[in-house]
Structure 1
Amino acid sequence: MIPRAHNSAVPSALARILASPRFATSLTHVALGVAFSISLLKSVMGWAGLAAVLVGLVALAAFSLSARRASIEWHGLLPISILVFLGWSTLTLVWSGYTVATLTGVGYQLTFAFLAVYIALARDTIQIVRATGDVLRVLLGVSLALEVVSGLLLDLPIAFLGIQGNLARLGPIQGIFGSRNVLGLVALLAFITFAVELRSRSLRRGPAIGSLVLAGLCILLAGSPVIMLVALFVGVAALALYWLRRTPAEGRWMLQLGLLGATVIALIGAWIARGRLIELLNAGSEFEVRYTLWREMWRLIALHPLEGWGWAGYWPNNVTPYGWLDFVTGRDQSSGLNAFLDVYFQAGLVGFLAFVALVGLAFVRSWLLASNKRTFVHVWPALTLVALLVASAAESTILVEFGWLLLVVCAMKASQGMSWRSALARHPRRFED
């Protein structure tokens, strides 16, 4: 049933289109496609063209939400943790030494947050999984096709996309995503999505298996040691969820506590043996650059420990202190290569704690839903967050564009399933008693 738009400023026929499930499906596909294709769009259209696309998407999403407002449950719309983090990021405008960059970064962050809110409100979790799967099948296929053209047919790089034509040497490749780490992460997210599609039978077995092969091939050809480690963590998390879902309900809490203890011990062991792990990953020279960057960031954090330097999202390399960090590392950096340290640097201790609360609540809620709900699709937000959070130790992808959009979507879906505000609205007398 299509909800009616009451007192709408747009004609009723247009309102019906904007409120229709088909329009929501199409807009969700386009929003996800844009979020995952930022590198390609910037190469083809520039920042001005990309900004125009994003403004158009936000306008369409706003009109669609307005037309659908009668059917949306507005109580407890956004998790408080998201509002606090976004609010503090915006507040850094007051003391930022690069006001224009902060205003741009906050606007960019709010844009993808709004698109994520629209997707989470307009689509069920299985519909989001299907839309994500459709988008990533196309983008990974395009990436692999361009790598074939560059590396096998022409044996020439595609300079404006950054494609080096390394496919004949079996990689590393980056496709349309700008770097092998991003391609590897996108392919891993795709693998999770395709596996959920297969297991939930929302896609026919043949196309689902073919999609898994495509994603796995892209992960291998990306040749990213970081993503290989992330994939290992995702695999362990998937096995843990499989074990939990097959355990009787009365025994799950003890198993959850056991898994939590084992995770803490493993993380401590990994920190102690971090030098050996770096050698095994063959990431020594790259790690030296990262270590130099992180050490200098820590030194600069001490100058503004509570409030941070000011939110920027992508680093503006032409202002202090980002130009200095580029000079120290000898590279142009677009991020701190660690999401948590990046947040601490830009938004200070307050922003860091708000971000930890956001990702912590989103992950715990998603994990509990994946453990206890019979429907298999609830596994998707939990494993997606595992991939994003583990990758956050070496990339800041979760803070911008598709990483930030997926974080907000997963946080909202988890909150809808385990929100104390929604429970209070449904059972007010229970809380009064």
Structure 2
Amino acid sequence: MAVFTKNPVSAPPAPPVRETTGHLLLRAWCILVLFLAVSGVSWNLAFGAVAGGAIAIASGIVTAVLWAVLRPAFQWRRLPWVALAYVAYAALSIAWSAWPSTSALTWLLLAITTLQGFFVAAVLTWREIIRAISSALKWAIGLSLLFELGVATVVRGPIMPGFARPAHHYDPIVYWSRGNLFNSGRLQGIWGNANLLGVVALLALIVFGILFAARAPRRTMLIVWMAVAGFLLIRAGSATTFLSLAAVVVVLAAVLLMRTTKKPAERTRYYVIYAIVGVGGIVALWFLRKPLFTLLGRNSDLTGRETIWAKVLKRAVERPFAGWGYASPWIPGDPHFDRWIIDHGQTVMQAHNMWVDLFLQLGIVGIVLMAGVYLAYIWRAWFFAVDRPRWDLVADRTYSPLTLLPTLVATVLLVQGLAESGPLILWGWMFVAMFSFKLKQAPLIGVGPAEVGAAIERGDAVSIP
């Protein structure tokens, strides 16, 4: 019988560090939280606005209880204070809001979304966050494909919210799904909106691609999921998403090129080139918008968005400094929004531009605060992606593909924000809050109290995500 010496030269063999059941359940909750944010309005379409709101509030209560019980380690001084200032100012706007009930309700959802983003960033490591986002996106796009398949094969026609079949023909904008899977029409997924499906499919393509580059397990399945995401992106036919994809490609190329530099002077030269190309691209896009959007199947005023912006700005300039009061999204039942702006017979619930929406709701102060949020986020995300990881004298550590995600997500949100108000709510704001928190608490993957403090990080530090 083999025995250990009383004076061993190394530690006795032991099984590898494994996740505890509690941590597995915690990560499962984070995946559910992320899925609730990503799936967005699908809950309202399936079960009604009251049920959707109840689910959001209940999830926020559970997260608050978990935070109080777990008390995850984080540094108070390194909180994203600009983002918190924006949330606080939105709450303060209830005092002068022209629609106080709408402001109070939508601010509650904003506070819950912020709490959820901070919680996920506090209890999970960088590797776990990206894996959790990947799992949530798989559920979202997988259910979207199954939903469209079910409508096309079982219903064989359009379907209304609440799983009801239309009694007669309606404007296609009111259908939850138009049953277009087997024809050339646009798909809408569980969101009932092709633009929302398109941007989530793009986000999924980015996350799956990053995990594939990081040599994550089950790479064959990642290829399958990328194919599904690419298929849904194309079938959504969202012009804004296609522009976001082009911007992501440009930014990704810029980051990879920046990683090849050896001296600061080389970066300066590239920054000048990027600035010239960026300004030139914006000018060209504006003057060539008519043929470009015609090519993408849209008219030059972004499918009526310029008309919406004009009406919103006309009201916004009446209270330019502090705004009319927070309201993201606009609640159609509120008299101030009901039938105010009509599109295809339906009350519009957003300004279709995050900055125009902010100007209406929170005025110039709100725009400045949100600009500060994105400036701080993008600044940290950019150097998180382009700087070689270093915390000691070792200066030749390899780059991690995982560090690309915050920068690419910021790119998607900024482009989407030009034609949608989505970045102000749901997963758009949650990802900004989550990454802003994580970038300040853990500016390096696997290093720092916010990373090492998680139990699973001991295993993640030596394994592939």
TM-score, length basis structure 1: 0.87
1:58 aligns with 2:60: yes
The equivalent position to 1:182 in structure 2, one of 175, 182, 196, is 196
SS in structure 1 of the partner of residue 302 of structure 2: helix
Q: Could you tell me how far 1:77 is from its partner in structure 2?
A: 4.6
The 1:196–1:249 alpha-carbon spacing in structure 2 relative to 1, beyond 3 Å, is farther
The 8 Å contact of residues 292 and 329 in structure 1, kept in 2 or not, is answered as no
The code of the aligned residue for 1:169 comes to: N
The 8 Å contact of residues 116 and 408 in structure 1, kept in 2 or not, is answered as yes
The equivalent position to 1:354 in structure 2, one of 350, 366, 369, is 369
The equivalent position to 2:358 in structure 1, one of 343, 349, 352, is 343
Aligned residue number for residue 219 of structure 1: 233
Aligned residue number for residue 457 of structure 2: none
SS in structure 2 of the partner of residue 283 of structure 1: coil
The 8 Å contact of residues 293 and 325 in structure 1, kept in 2 or not, is answered as no
Aligned residue number for residue 397 of structure 1: 422
The 1:127–1:260 alpha-carbon spacing in structure 2 relative to 1, beyond 3 Å, is farther
The equivalent position to 1:303 in structure 2, one of 318, 323, 346, is 318
Q: Could you tell me how far 1:283 is from its partner in structure 2?
A: 1.2
The 8 Å contact of residues 385 and 410 in structure 1, kept in 2 or not, is answered as no
Aligned residue number for residue 172 of structure 1: 186
Q: Which moved more, 1:113-122 or 1:326-335?
A: 326-335
Q: Could you tell me how far 1:265 is from its partner in structure 2?
A: 2.7
Q: Could you tell me how far 1:59 is from its partner in structure 2?
A: 2.5
Q: In 1, distance between residues paired with 2:88 and 2:412?
A: 26
Q: Could you tell me how far 1:21 is from its partner in structure 2?
A: 2.2
The 8 Å contact of residues 147 and 165 in structure 1, kept in 2 or not, is answered as yes
The equivalent position to 2:306 in structure 1, one of 275, 291, 295, is 291
Q: Which moved more, 1:20-29 or 1:99-108?
A: 20-29
Q: Could you tell me how far 1:57 is from its partner in structure 2?
A: 2.0
The 8 Å contact of residues 152 and 167 in structure 1, kept in 2 or not, is answered as no
Structure with bigger RCO (C-alpha 8 Å, 6+ apart): 2
Aligned residue number for residue 133 of structure 2: 132
Q: Which moved more, 1:305-314 or 1:250-259?
A: 250-259
The 8 Å contact of residues 317 and 326 in structure 1, kept in 2 or not, is answered as no
Aligned residue number for residue 231 of structure 1: 245
Equivalent runs, 1:249-260 vs 2, <5 Å: 249-250=263-264, 251-260=266-275
Equivalent runs, 1:182-221 vs 2, <5 Å: 182-221=196-235
Deviations 1:249-306 (A, max 9, x none): 5433432343233212322332333334333333117725211111111111110000
Q: In 2, distance between residues paired with 1:236 and 1:58?
A: 37
Runs of 4 or more consecutive aligned structure 1 residues displaced over 6 Å after TM superposition: none
Q: Could you tell me how far 1:68 is from its partner in structure 2?
A: 2.8
Q: In 1, distance between residues paired with 2:240 and 2:425?
A: 19
Q: Which moved more, 1:346-355 or 1:260-269?
A: 260-269
The 8 Å contact of residues 163 and 173 in structure 1, kept in 2 or not, is answered as yes
- Return the index of the structure with the highest Cα Rg: 2
* Equivalences, count: 403
Aligned residue number for residue 50 of structure 2: 48
Q: In 2, distance between residues paired with 1:158 and 1:270?
A: 37
The equivalent position to 2:412 in structure 1, one of 387, 393, 407, is 387
1:316 aligns with 2:317: no
The 8 Å contact of residues 152 and 168 in structure 1, kept in 2 or not, is answered as no
The 8 Å contact of residues 353 and 418 in structure 2, kept in 1 or not, is answered as yes
The 1:101–1:405 alpha-carbon spacing in structure 2 relative to 1, beyond 3 Å, is same
The code of the aligned residue for 2:243 comes to: L
The equivalent position to 2:434 in structure 1, one of 403, 409, 412, is 409
Bigger proportion of residues as helix: 1
The code of the aligned residue for 1:393 comes to: L
Aligned residue number for residue 102 of structure 1: 103
User: Can you give the 5+ residue segments of structure 1 that lack an aligned partner in the other structure?
Assistant: 1-16, 424-433
SS in structure 1 of the partner of residue 329 of structure 2: coil
The code of the aligned residue for 1:149 comes to: G
SS in structure 1 of the partner of residue 101 of structure 2: helix
Q: Could you tell me how far 1:359 is from its partner in structure 2?
A: 1.2
The 1:413–1:264 alpha-carbon spacing in structure 2 relative to 1, beyond 3 Å, is farther
Deviations 1:53-81 (A, max 9, x none): 22332222223222332x50232352121
Q: In 2, distance between residues paired with 1:286 and 1:260?
A: 26
Q: In 2, distance between residues paired with 1:83 and 1:301?
A: 24
Root mean square deviation, CA, Å: 2.4
User: Can you give the 5+ residue segments of structure 2 that lack an aligned partner in the other structure?
Assistant: 1-18, 164-175, 389-398, 449-465
The code of the aligned residue for 2:113 comes to: F
